[in-house]
Amino acid sequence: MIATFRRRMRKVTPFQIILTVCFTGLAAFMALPLIFILNHAFKPQNELFLFPPRFWVHNPTWHNFEILFLHASNGAVPFTRYLFNSFLVTGITLPSVIIVSTMAAYVLAKYNFHFKGLIMGLITLSLMFAPETVSIPRYLIISGLHINNTYFGHVLPALASPLAVFMLIGFISQIPNELLEAAKIDGASQLGIFMRMVLPLTVPAIATISIFTFQGMWGDVETSTLFMQSETMRTLAFYVNSLVSGLQNSVAGQNMAAAAGLLMFIPNLIIFLLFQRKVLETMVHSGIK
């Protein structure tokens, strides 16, 4: 075993060593914001305003989270209601976006029909618009359908995801047509081809859009602000945003803001860590090998 290790070390060039050291240092530097968020949430009140500021917490405490939950329990809507709404809305939206986007991308990538070029152009054009530019049309649609203060009002605006469809079209286009034709010859239905062949081969792209969709829905404030007039239908992101906005000039509330920021950040980090390898596969277009 030692001999094998020595042989491998002889094959390592100085350039590879330098490259490894540089990328390791870069990775450590990029991890600093993550470490700071974790440290900051556990800092006691006296360490939050030290000058010069400390990067590492010296006396970690759970008191920040206790104050946050106590503050939320004193409101008209309990903290658990906001948390439940966020999990429910995200849990419904995520599979819905995956199903709608993959089906749309499969049709656009593998079938020819009238106005296909127009539809592709509209999808590409929609990527140019910032979310703020479509806020009024979305509000008019949600109000016209009378789905304000409903969970469907949270989900519907996110179902049409041009980014997800655009990414999946490029990925599904790599699947050889001969493979699909062979499945048809063997008697597979269109639904069978989609479920048993297309979906498994597009798992890396699906994982990528899952991350984007989860992050977008978990941190979404616009829907709760514009479409939900009832406080019981609003999400955790809205509550945290309102809390942090109200504490901008409050010294006493900065510990609550730090704890709330960590609660919003952790789910995004977990989702990214779970699917990061699939994201890399998507970026190098390795759907078919």
Per-residue model confidence (pLDDT) at position 92: 93
- Residue 217: closest CA among 100, 131, 91: 91
Encoded tokens for 75: 């409101």
Q: Which residue has the tokens 């296909």?
A: 116
Number of domains into which the chain is organized: 2
Residues 75 and 59 reside in one and the same domain:
no
The string of pLDDT tens digits covering residues 148-172 is: 888 998 898 888 888 889 888 888 8
Among 40, 64, 88, the domain-final residue is 64
- Residue 49: closest CA among 250, 259, 264, 263: 250
Residues 182 and 258 reside in one and the same domain:
yes
* Helix H or strand E segment including 183: helix 177-185
Q: Where are the beta strands (DSSP E) in the chain?
A: none
The string of pLDDT tens digits covering residues 36-57 is: 888 888 888 777 777 777 778 8
Q: 230 is in which domain, residue-wise? A: 65-283
Q: Which residue has the tokens 């979404």?
A: 220
Encoded tokens for 126: 């929609």
The string of pLDDT tens digits covering residues 75-106 is: 677 888 888 999 999 999 999 999 999 999 99
Residues 55 and 184 reside in one and the same domain:
no
Other beta carbons within 10 angstroms of residue 142's beta carbon come to 21
Mean pLDDT, all residues of the chain: 81
